[in-house]
A = this chain, B = another copy of it.
Amino acid sequence: MTSPSVRTRKVILDAAREEFAAHGLAGGRVERIAKAAGANVQRIYAYYSDKQGLFDAVVLDAAASLAEAIRTEHRDIDSLANAIFDFVVNDPANTRTMTWARLEREDEFFQLMDTGQSGVGAVSELARLQDAGLVTTDWDAVTILEALIALCEQWHPNTRENGRSDIDRHRALVLRFVRTLAVEPAAS
Protein backbone atom coordinates (compact mmCIF):
# COMPACT_ATOMS: atom_id res chain seq x y z
CA MET A 1 0.00 0.00 0.00
CA THR A 2 2.67 2.44 1.05
CA SER A 3 3.99 3.94 -2.13
CA PRO A 4 7.72 3.60 -2.66
CA SER A 5 8.19 7.33 -2.37
CA VAL A 6 6.67 7.37 1.09
CA ARG A 7 8.88 4.52 2.14
CA THR A 8 12.00 6.18 0.80
CA ARG A 9 11.13 9.42 2.52
CA LYS A 10 10.90 7.54 5.77
CA VAL A 11 14.13 5.58 5.53
CA ILE A 12 15.92 8.79 4.65
CA LEU A 13 14.42 10.55 7.66
CA ASP A 14 15.39 7.66 9.91
CA ALA A 15 18.95 7.67 8.66
CA ALA A 16 19.08 11.45 8.99
CA ARG A 17 17.89 11.24 12.57
CA GLU A 18 20.89 9.15 13.52
CA GLU A 19 23.38 11.09 11.47
CA PHE A 20 22.31 14.50 12.70
CA ALA A 21 21.95 13.36 16.30
CA ALA A 22 25.52 12.16 16.15
CA HIS A 23 27.14 14.97 14.17
CA GLY A 24 24.75 17.89 13.93
CA LEU A 25 23.95 19.97 10.88
CA ALA A 26 27.45 21.15 10.00
CA GLY A 27 29.06 17.81 10.83
CA GLY A 28 26.40 15.61 9.28
CA ARG A 29 27.19 14.15 5.89
CA VAL A 30 24.56 13.87 3.20
CA GLU A 31 26.34 10.96 1.59
CA ARG A 32 26.44 8.98 4.83
CA ILE A 33 22.72 9.50 5.26
CA ALA A 34 22.02 8.27 1.74
CA LYS A 35 24.20 5.23 2.23
CA ALA A 36 22.67 4.35 5.59
CA ALA A 37 19.23 4.74 4.07
CA GLY A 38 20.15 2.52 1.16
CA ALA A 39 18.96 5.32 -1.04
CA ASN A 40 20.51 7.73 -3.46
CA VAL A 41 21.76 11.16 -2.54
CA GLN A 42 19.54 12.73 -5.12
CA ARG A 43 16.42 11.51 -3.36
CA ILE A 44 17.33 13.64 -0.37
CA TYR A 45 17.25 16.73 -2.52
CA ALA A 46 14.05 15.62 -4.23
CA TYR A 47 12.23 15.17 -0.94
CA TYR A 48 13.81 17.68 1.40
CA SER A 49 15.19 20.27 -1.01
CA ASP A 50 18.54 20.45 0.77
CA LYS A 51 20.58 19.35 3.75
CA GLN A 52 19.17 22.03 5.97
CA GLY A 53 15.64 21.16 4.98
CA LEU A 54 16.28 17.58 6.00
CA PHE A 55 17.79 18.71 9.28
CA ASP A 56 14.77 20.86 10.02
CA ALA A 57 12.51 17.92 9.27
CA VAL A 58 14.45 15.84 11.78
CA VAL A 59 14.21 18.57 14.40
CA LEU A 60 10.48 18.98 13.94
CA ASP A 61 10.12 15.24 14.20
CA ALA A 62 12.11 15.17 17.42
CA ALA A 63 10.00 17.94 18.90
CA ALA A 64 6.84 16.18 17.85
CA SER A 65 7.87 12.97 19.53
CA LEU A 66 8.57 14.82 22.77
CA ALA A 67 5.12 16.35 22.56
CA GLU A 68 3.68 12.93 21.86
CA ALA A 69 5.44 11.41 24.85
CA ILE A 70 3.80 13.76 27.32
CA ARG A 71 0.45 14.19 25.71
CA THR A 72 -1.61 12.30 28.25
CA GLU A 73 -3.24 14.12 31.10
CA HIS A 74 -1.16 14.20 34.22
CA ARG A 75 -2.68 14.30 37.66
CA ASP A 76 0.28 16.17 39.12
CA ILE A 77 3.65 17.63 38.26
CA ASP A 78 5.38 14.47 39.46
CA SER A 79 3.67 12.53 36.77
CA LEU A 80 4.57 15.09 34.14
CA ALA A 81 8.18 15.19 35.30
CA ASN A 82 8.42 11.43 35.14
CA ALA A 83 7.09 11.40 31.60
CA ILE A 84 9.67 13.95 30.49
CA PHE A 85 12.43 12.17 32.34
CA ASP A 86 11.54 8.84 30.76
CA PHE A 87 11.49 10.35 27.34
CA VAL A 88 14.90 11.90 27.75
CA VAL A 89 16.40 8.73 29.16
CA ASN A 90 14.84 6.45 26.58
CA ASP A 91 15.74 8.50 23.56
CA PRO A 92 18.95 10.37 24.08
CA ALA A 93 19.31 10.93 20.33
CA ASN A 94 16.27 13.13 20.37
CA THR A 95 17.74 15.21 23.13
CA ARG A 96 20.99 15.61 21.25
CA THR A 97 19.12 16.71 18.16
CA MET A 98 17.29 19.40 20.06
CA THR A 99 20.55 20.63 21.52
CA TRP A 100 22.15 20.76 18.10
CA ALA A 101 19.17 22.69 16.82
CA ARG A 102 19.43 25.27 19.56
CA LEU A 103 23.09 25.78 18.76
CA GLU A 104 23.14 25.55 15.00
CA ARG A 105 19.81 27.09 14.13
CA GLU A 106 19.56 29.47 17.03
CA ASP A 107 17.71 32.15 15.16
CA GLU A 108 15.23 29.85 13.50
CA PHE A 109 14.82 27.46 16.41
CA PHE A 110 11.77 28.91 18.07
CA GLN A 111 10.15 29.69 14.77
CA LEU A 112 10.74 26.07 13.86
CA MET A 113 9.19 24.96 17.10
CA ASP A 114 6.13 27.11 16.57
CA THR A 115 5.68 25.63 13.13
CA GLY A 116 5.49 22.17 14.61
CA GLN A 117 3.56 23.36 17.66
CA SER A 118 5.85 21.10 19.59
CA GLY A 119 6.10 21.99 23.23
CA VAL A 120 2.65 23.47 23.20
CA GLY A 121 1.16 20.28 24.57
CA ALA A 122 3.47 20.19 27.54
CA VAL A 123 3.14 23.89 28.26
CA SER A 124 -0.63 23.83 28.27
CA GLU A 125 -0.57 20.68 30.36
CA LEU A 126 1.55 22.42 32.95
CA ALA A 127 -0.58 25.55 32.77
CA ARG A 128 -3.59 23.37 33.47
CA LEU A 129 -1.93 22.07 36.63
CA GLN A 130 -1.22 25.65 37.64
CA ASP A 131 -4.83 26.64 37.04
CA ALA A 132 -5.92 23.73 39.17
CA GLY A 133 -3.81 25.16 41.97
CA LEU A 134 -1.46 22.19 42.02
CA VAL A 135 1.66 23.99 40.87
CA THR A 136 3.18 27.28 41.90
CA THR A 137 2.43 30.29 39.73
CA ASP A 138 5.61 32.04 40.81
CA TRP A 139 6.94 31.21 37.35
CA ASP A 140 5.13 30.81 34.09
CA ALA A 141 4.65 27.41 32.54
CA VAL A 142 7.31 27.82 29.89
CA THR A 143 9.99 28.73 32.41
CA ILE A 144 9.20 25.81 34.64
CA LEU A 145 9.03 23.41 31.75
CA GLU A 146 12.39 24.48 30.40
CA ALA A 147 13.94 24.15 33.82
CA LEU A 148 12.50 20.70 34.09
CA ILE A 149 13.79 19.63 30.71
CA ALA A 150 17.19 21.11 31.46
CA LEU A 151 17.39 19.07 34.64
CA CYS A 152 16.30 15.89 32.92
CA GLU A 153 18.82 16.34 30.15
CA GLN A 154 21.63 16.87 32.58
CA TRP A 155 22.99 13.36 32.34
CA HIS A 156 21.80 12.26 28.99
CA PRO A 157 23.76 12.25 26.84
CA ASN A 158 26.26 14.37 28.64
CA THR A 159 27.91 11.79 30.74
CA ARG A 160 29.76 8.58 30.48
CA GLU A 161 28.21 5.28 31.34
CA ASN A 162 25.01 5.78 33.19
CA GLY A 163 24.09 2.69 35.10
CA ARG A 164 20.52 2.06 36.14
CA SER A 165 21.23 3.21 39.67
CA ASP A 166 22.64 6.48 38.39
CA ILE A 167 19.48 7.02 36.44
CA ASP A 168 17.29 6.32 39.44
CA ARG A 169 19.30 8.69 41.57
CA HIS A 170 19.04 11.33 38.91
CA ARG A 171 15.31 10.82 38.70
CA ALA A 172 15.08 11.31 42.43
CA LEU A 173 16.89 14.62 42.11
CA VAL A 174 14.49 15.82 39.42
CA LEU A 175 11.55 14.81 41.54
CA ARG A 176 12.95 16.57 44.55
CA PHE A 177 13.08 19.70 42.43
CA VAL A 178 9.54 19.51 41.10
CA ARG A 179 8.10 18.84 44.49
CA THR A 180 9.33 22.22 45.60
CA LEU A 181 7.14 23.62 42.85
CA ALA A 182 4.08 21.64 43.79
CA VAL A 183 1.43 23.24 45.88
CA GLU A 184 0.00 21.07 48.60
CA PRO A 185 -3.73 20.83 48.21
CA ALA A 186 -5.27 22.68 51.13
CA ALA A 187 -6.45 20.34 53.87
CA SER A 188 -10.21 19.94 53.43
**B180 & A102 in contact (Cβ 8 Å cutoff):** no
- Checking B96, B160, B170, B172 against A110 with a beta-carbon cut-off of 8 angstroms, the contacting residue is B160
Bound form: Cα–Cα A151–B181 in Å: 14
Return chain B residues, CB-CB under 8 Å to A155: 146
- Among A23-31, A73-81, A119-127, the one that faces the other chain is A23-31
So how many copies of this chain end up in the complex?
2
Bound form: Cα–Cα A151–B145 in Å: 11
**B150 & A154 in contact (Cβ 8 Å cutoff):** yes
Dominant secondary structure of chain A at its interface with chain B: helix
Return chain B residues, CB-CB under 8 Å to A103: 24, 96, 99-100, 103
Bound form: Cα–Cα A169–B144 in Å: 11
How many chain A residues touch B (Cβ–Cβ < 8 Å)?
37
Bound form: Cα–Cα A67–B131 in Å: 42
Interface residues of A in 134-188 (CB under 8 A from B): 138-139, 143-144, 146-147, 150-151, 153-155, 157-160, 169-170, 172-173, 176-177, 179-181
Q: Identify the interface centre among A103, A110, A146, A179: most chain B CB within 10 Å of its CB.
A: A103
User: Smallest CB–CB gap between A33 and chain B, Å?
Assistant: 15
Q: Cβ of A68 < 8 Å from any Cβ of B?
A: no
User: Smallest CB–CB gap between A114 and chain B, Å?
Assistant: 12
Q: Cβ of A91 < 8 Å from any Cβ of B?
A: no
- Checking B102, B151, B177 against A158 with a beta-carbon cut-off of 8 angstroms, the contacting residue is B102
**A176 & B170 in contact (Cβ 8 Å cutoff):** no
Q: Cβ of A104 < 8 Å from any Cβ of B?
A: yes
Q: Cβ of A14 < 8 Å from any Cβ of B?
A: no
Contact with B along A16-52 (1 / 0, CB 8 A): 0000000111110000000000000000000000000
